[in-house]
Amino acid sequence: MIQRRSLLKKMGGLLLAPALPYSAFAAKSKPTLRIAHLTDIHLYNDLDAPNRLAKCFHHVQQQTPKVDLILNGGDIVFDMNKENLSNIRDQWRLWHSVAAAECKLPMHYVLGNHDIWWEEQNKNSAVYGKQYALDQLQLTTPYYSFQKNGWKFICLDSVHLDIDATWYIGKLGEAQFVWLENELKNTPPGTPVCVLSHIPILTATLMIEDGIVNKWEMLGGDMHTDTAAIIKLFYQHPNVKLCLSGHIHLRDKVVYNNVTYLCNGAVSGAWWKGNKRETAPGYGLIDLYADGTFDEKYVKY
């Protein structure tokens, strides 16, 4: 009888033990938000790019469960750098035409380096720099935040002119860094945060070189030059969970100090000419949960 009672106690413990974990897992059983991360589209009227972008949009919208919104990581048009205004207008008209016809999902943007007009001879023009692209996207500022389904999204402006004002560098700048500090300070600690930038804050893709090297060169235009300061800031705010970027056209994931830095491949792949190294054309698909966790994968469309 003693042995039987002892056995029943053990069985009771086994039967009751799953009750607490089940309630915890049940809260995560359904994502609070599903997002698609599309970056480096580089749209222009060549190499069948408009039809292939339409295919990508259709692929995103056919996902089950359904995607709630798109985060667009920049380099939307093929290239504005030092282009004439006629070509720039054509590229943006094409973007608006394809997006309106083929995509019914809400979309939030950050600017890429190819979305900015740097023509040194026209610095006094009203559309010089980022203004033309901001107008096209109906953005009042190049960095901003919004909230959706319990998550906060911080959209950064990571592309700035370098010291000589002829090329770009990855950074926030003093004013934007102060803004980011205040955004995180004023966000409740229980609200998970997802950060979107064009240029990666942290990536391992820059270590990929052909041949054998004994020294890696990392250019300021390939990864944020203020990485250490941003990472230190994120360390003070553990609710920063995920940072999304593109720019490199390669896919990687770096986890540092409990923040996941996810660099996704390009919708255009190698500028509509196939894979960029081992990364096929595609987009990121991310399920966000109320507890700040997430599931993610890279989807080849």
Sorted by where each begins, the domain ranges of the chain are 31-300
Per the DSSP assignment, residues forming a β-bridge with 160 are: 169
Pick from 16-30, 77-91, 97-111 the range whose average pLDDT is largest: 97-111
pLDDT at position 104 is: 98
Percent of the chain with pLDDT over 90: 79
29-57 pLDDT per residue, tens: 789 999 999 999 999 999 999 999 999 99
Using the predicted structure, report yes or no on whether residue 141 has a pLDDT greater than 70.
yes
Output the CA angle 249-286-150, nearest 5 degrees.
130
Mean residue pLDDT of the chain comes to 90
147-192 pLDDT per residue, tens: 999 999 999 999 998 887 778 999 999 999 999 999 999 999 999 9
Residues with Cβ within 8 Å of residue 295, at least 6 apart in sequence: 31, 286, 287
Percent of the chain with pLDDT over 70: 88
* Stated pTM of the model: 0.89
110-139 pLDDT per residue, tens: 999 999 987 655 666 656 789 999 999 999
189-217 pLDDT per residue, tens: 999 999 999 999 999 999 998 999 999 98
Using the predicted structure, report yes or no on whether residue 265 has a pLDDT greater than 90.
yes
Dist CA 107 CA 69 (whole Å): 6
Instruction: Name the strand (E) or helix (H) holding 62.
Output: none
Q: Which CATH number fits domain 31-300: 3.40.640.10, 3.60.21.10, 3.40.50.150, 2.40.30.10?
A: 3.60.21.10
Phi, psi (deg, nearest 5) at residue 143: -135, 145
Q: Is the separation of the CB atoms in 234 and 213 below 8 Å?
A: no
Residue pointed to by tokens 């064009």 = 198
Residue bearing the bigger pLDDT, 11 or 62? 62
| Number of neighbours of residue 191 by Cβ within 10 angstroms | 12
Residue bearing the bigger pLDDT, 259 or 8? 259
